[in-house]
Amino acid sequence: MSTSTLWIDGAPATVEDLAHQALVNYGAYTSFAVSAAAVRGLDRHLARLTHAGTALFGAAVPEDRVRALIRQALGDRPDAFVRVSLFSRDVSPRSPAHEGVPRVMVGVFPPAPPLGQIPLRLQVQTYARETPDLKHVATMGLIRARRQARLAGYDDALFADPDGRISEGSLWNIGFLRGDMVIWPDAPMLEGVSQALIKGHLKEAGLSQESRVVTAGALTDFDGAFITNSATPACAVAAIGDVVFSGGMDRLDRVTSAWLRAEPQPV
């Protein structure tokens, strides 16, 4: 697929709708890879949109309608990267209190490459996303953090609170490795769909897991780390600040195998 398309409620996006979204930074989205007309964790992406619709607009779009709009936007393209966004032209800075079922924008794009294919170097930054349980469109802080990390010579940014408690990264979740155990940070964050799929199948892949507080001052407790999101099942972390991780590649294969055990769900 060489072209991208934008659809809103099943019709080509209009200038008026796109202008509203460009000017009013209020809404939510989810994004995922479509392969052979199926998505790993599609039910979780739909549940994310249901939660966001209720939280931000007071009403959710029925999941069967969202699926139908995704199918319509994909057409006959079996492989793509899709973003599904919720917005309302009735919500604005001057009139924020409207409640009602939001509109649905589906963007269909060429398949996205992983965020990283070689181990990443991460910079710890003091930052926390607003309403972290929602995958909302207020992304300036995420982009700025990633930009600052790149300009400082790193690949990406890893977030911690003022006490050093690690949560998540700019566009991904992080898992730490110690022996045959995956340690997930216990902190307010957006639990990613890929993270949830990996959690559901780690035991089958021969790895145990736990969630606990992880601080930036205790990174030497671990012998590896990886990031994960919908475009990147698992990518190794080479270093976080001055802490270097030299191992973990064999276990990374097992993390990836856990993700692969999640059955793709037809759109």
**Structural domain boundaries of the chain?**
5-109, 120-266
d(CA 108, CA 71): 10
Confidence (pLDDT) at 1: 40
Confidence (pLDDT) at 209: 98
3-state SS assignment for residue 70: helix
d(CA 56, CA 39): 25
Confidence (pLDDT) at 248: 65
Each residue of 5-27: b (16+ CB within 10 Å) or e? bbbbeeeebeeebeebbeebebb
Q: Which residue has the tokens 């199926």?
A: 38
- Which of these, 31, 163, 43, 126, lies nearest to 84 by C-alpha position? 31
Confidence (pLDDT) at 8: 97
Confidence (pLDDT) at 246: 82
Low-confidence ranges of the chain (pLDDT < 70): 1-2, 248
Phi, psi (degrees; rounded to nearest 5) at 174: -125, 145
| pTM for the predicted model, two decimal places | 0.94
- Specify the CATH class of 5-109 in words: alpha beta
Give the tens place of pLDDT for each residue, 191-238: 999 999 999 999 999 999 999 999 999 999 999 999 999 999 999 999
d(CA 19, CA 17): 5
Confidence (pLDDT) at 14: 94
d(CA 109, CA 121): 28
Confidence (pLDDT) at 230: 92
Q: From 1.10.1660.10, 3.10.20.600, 3.20.10.10, 3.40.50.2000, which CATH number describes the 120-266 domain? A: 3.20.10.10
